[in-house]
Structure 1
Amino acid sequence: MVTSAPTGGAPVRPLAVVIGPPGAGKSTVGRRLAAALGVRWHDTDSAIEAAQGATISDLFVDHGEAHFRALERAEVAHALTGGDVVVSLGGGAPMDPETQTLLAGHTVVFLDVGIADAARRIGFEGNRPLLMMNPRASWTKMMNERRDTYQRLATIRVDTAGRKPAEIVAEVVAALGRTTATEEQS
């Protein structure tokens, strides 16, 4: 559900919606992209944790994946009405058909990452519920299952392999055809 601008003009949409698998850098890049653009950042996983008073892992264990996915779907729908904001989605959010429909017409940035960089970034620790058993094999299987969806939804794809967040953010800003908040102040 997209809200209208106060003037009754075009729909108010996020400047970018960042998607990708665990370890792609969605939170790091999303936060830095928002800062570069001078707008708010909204991380759907963090918002769910704050609202529920529990970690994503605890929600999975205590209530099951279906319960978490329903919370996630509602949070994504809410986040997409936020106006001038950069939104970072959890890695599984784009797999939901309703969420896919909600993302239509948005600027969706797919942060593509290989297993070597993902492993280095997240360490495949036990705080990722879908990666608890044999994390490397689970991540590879997950990415193989999700890649086509990420690519189909993306309006911008960024290869993050071996790159620093600042480089990735600069590429996204350029792809958006925007200037950074710092450049605007000069």
Structure 2
Amino acid sequence: MTGTGPAVVLVGPPGAGKSTVGALLAERLGTTYRDTDADVERTAGKAIPEIFFEEGEPHFRALERQAVRAAVGEHPGVLSLGGGAIMDEETRGLLAGLPVVFLDVALADAVKRVGLDAPRPLLAVNPRQQWRALMEERRPLYTEVARAVVATEGRTPEDVAEAVLDALELRKA
């Protein structure tokens, strides 16, 4: 792994498996894993749903933008971004030229993984419809920043991690 910035950046909607696949990729690549959602929670001292409900989405997005900027600048391993991070123009600019992979997940799989009662602020009311609306808005942005798109449907996290390695040509010789 040479160059600056993360070895792999994973983007995708809630339930795409970014955290699970990211940890597997880090293990396979012999590097570390970092999740900007965890960074935001650590900085704020509270869970993301609490940030949304107590301080509002704009405050959360500002914390998220700062977390992404810091992680892209200092983390050499595998990085997962929160599902909505790519909505920010500055964030999309930071991702230009990086090995970004969009984990594309089907609604049915996302629902199974996220659960309909999980504490996801943007999916709190009518989660299936909200998820579809989020994807309609975000899909073009995920594909814009991605060097590769990996479909997760019908694949185990291990299979998805292998597909990411293949897509980015990161196999160790």
Same fold (TM over 0.5): yes
Structure 1, unaligned stretches of length 5 or more? 1-9
Alpha-carbon spacing, 1:100–1:170, altered in 2? closer, same or farther (3 Å): same
Instruction: Show the counterpart of 2:16.
Output: 24
Instruction: Show the counterpart of 2:4.
Output: 12
Instruction: Show the counterpart of 1:3.
Output: none
Q: Structure 1 residues 170-179 or 158-167, which shifts more?
A: 170-179
Runs of 4+ deviating beyond 6 Å: none
- RMSD of the TM alignment (CA)? 1.3
Query: Aligned letter for 2:150?
Result: V
Instruction: Show the counterpart of 2:145.
Output: 153
Match of 1:122 among 114, 124, 129: 114
For residues 49 and 83 of structure 1, the distance between their equivalents in structure 2, rounded to whole angstroms, comes to 17
Query: Aligned letter for 2:94?
Result: L
Query: Aligned letter for 1:139?
Result: W
For residues 122 and 32 of structure 2, the distance between their equivalents in structure 1, rounded to whole angstroms, comes to 29
2:86 aligned with 1:94, yes or no?
yes
Query: Kindly, what percent of the aligned residue pairs are identical?
Result: 48
Query: Aligned letter for 1:25?
Result: G
Report the count of equivalent residues.
172
User: Which is greater in Rg?
Assistant: 1
For residues 144 and 179 of structure 1, the distance between their equivalents in structure 2, rounded to whole angstroms, comes to 33
Instruction: Show the counterpart of 1:74.
Output: 66
TM-score normalised by structure 1 residue count: 0.89
Query: Aligned letter for 1:162?
Result: G
For residues 57 and 22 of structure 1, the distance between their equivalents in structure 2, rounded to whole angstroms, comes to 13
TM-score normalised by structure 2 residue count: 0.95
Match of 1:65 among 57, 61, 66: 57
